[in-house]
Structure 1
């Protein structure tokens, strides 16, 4: 913790005037694979649904649920966590503070807290899961159809966030001007499941004054706010809120209303 505190102090950034550079050209997105992919389960569900008999509908419904769970678990693994739902205390606390759902599957609550999937979509999944767990009659064909559509939408939404994940650089000035004063570069090692922070006292096209580097694991309180910033900067949706939340986590003394982040592409 001391290393990261000294890192932030050494670069002297003005957190109220942040320019965020998305370095998408240096990254191919988040990636993780299971033996059977979410899209395969979805394809099975669509094939099963064509049968229309009781067995076909039950199988279609089960595979639609598997498709959703598989996609969510794949995402959880890709950001350095175990999909079992046994998260570090700091991640549990992040979910508690940022998720609109007060209970339920923690994996789904986390993707909502990170801004990867809207609360409404997660709410629909929760309703579906409750029906599945207490359903001992022939599934309604319309319910099965809606379940498959929900699975397809959830897979597409999370897939897009994973592809758009971007290394990001935060500066307190534009790189091509004289007003740059300190910079923070955020990158991610998918193999290690760690975020890497590089601190610069100056960062311009022709000048780099490197100060230090810190590696963070999910046990650190800044891991999730940093991860959310990299996820949403790439999608261009909700990125500004993510940056404001990150700055508030770094320096709680800065009023959120005084922060005006700007997004550019490096």
Structure 2
């Protein structure tokens, strides 16, 4: 469905985006754990501070990812709760760029040691890439795509999308609803994760609402 790319033009099209938010239940947010990691590094550089800094940075990262993928319906992936699977879900939904995810995987693999003390360089790298990930995804917590006007009806393209007038993400359910104008009638099609088309449309939503 690469032909969808021609509809991603923030200058040419007004998508009239509507937004929703991601609620965080509990006292602590991912940024809180990240700030703890920074404070841990400000302490005397010993095994305790390095381990605590790394663990808090990992908590921030994992928490942020869990909140994001839950909003995009990760619960449709039954019994697939590993971190690599979650990261792949982020990538397929277009939540964050593959380049950031690639860096994240490299750094995370470097610090996945059991019962060993990370060195200062490893902790610094992990905190840096975690901060990059948080900065790239914080917008979703108050600007999660909800609903857009699809520009196909206003163009002369003769393709599979020309009758679509609306694209909507149903938060938490892993569903995209396409509104189509066929003749005088409106028809609605629901696409559910983990169908490949769900990831195509969620990526489209994220790109055209940046």
Q: Is the TM value for this pair above 0.5?
A: yes
The answer on 1:120 being equivalent to 2:99 is yes
The superposition leaves residues 22-50 of structure 1 with CA deviations (integer Å, 9 ceiling, x where unpaired) of 222x223x524253321111011111111
Secondary structure of the 1:134 match is coil
> Shift of residue 234 of structure 1?
0.6
Cα offsets for 1:102-158 (capped at 9, x unmatched) = xx7011122223333233322222222223222644322232222212111101112
Aligned partners of 2:173, 2:117: CA distance in 1, in Å?
A: 45
* Pair 1:137–1:222, CA change in 2 (3 A): closer
Instruction: Report the Cα offset of residue 79 of structure 1.
Output: 0.6
User: TM-score, structure 2 length as denominator?
Assistant: 0.76
Return the match for 1:53 from 40, 46, 50.
46
Residue 31 (structure 1) aligns with = 22
1:222 corresponds to 2:197: yes
Counterpart-to-counterpart distance in 2, 1:194 and 1:130? 32
Q: Cα RMSD between the aligned structures?
A: 3.4
Unaligned runs of 5+ in 2: 157-161
* Structure 2 equivalent of residue 101 of structure 1: none
In the alignment, the residues of structure 2 paired with residue 110 and residue 210 of structure 1 have an alpha-carbon distance, to the nearest angstrom, of: 35
Of the candidates 72, 80, 84, which is equivalent to residue 79 of structure 1? 72
Structure 1 length-normalised TM:
0.62
Residue equivalent to 2:188: 213
**Which whole-Å CA distance do the structure 1 matches of 2:123 and 2:78 have between them?**
27
Alignment match, 2:159? none
Q: Contact between 1:18 and 1:173, CA under 8 Å: does it hold in 2? A: no
For 2:175 and 2:97, how far apart are their aligned partners in 1? 26
Q: CA deviation at 1:58?
A: 0.4
Matches within 5 A, 1:184-199: 184-190=165-171, 192-199=173-180
Select the structure of larger CA radius of gyration.
1
Q: Post-superposition shift, 1:186? A: 0.9
Is contact 1:194-1:216 (8 Å) kept?
A: yes
Counterparts in 2 of 1:60 and 1:123: CA distance versus 1, 3 Å: same
Q: Please list every run of at least 4 consecutive aligned residues from structure 1 whose deviation after the TM superposition is greater than 6 angstroms.
A: none
CA distance in 1: counterparts of 2:88 and 2:172, whole angstroms: 24
CA distance in 2, matches of 1:128, 1:17: 35
**C-alpha separation between the residues in 1 aligned to 2:128 and 2:145?**
25
Q: Is 2:30–2:61's contact at 8 Å kept on the other side of the alignment?
A: yes
Q: What CA distance in whole angstroms lies between the structure 1 residues aligned with 2:77 and 2:61?
A: 15
Which stretches in structure 1 are left out of the alignment for 5+ residues?
1-14, 88-103, 203-208, 236-266
Cα distance between partner residues in 1 of 2:98 and 2:164: 33
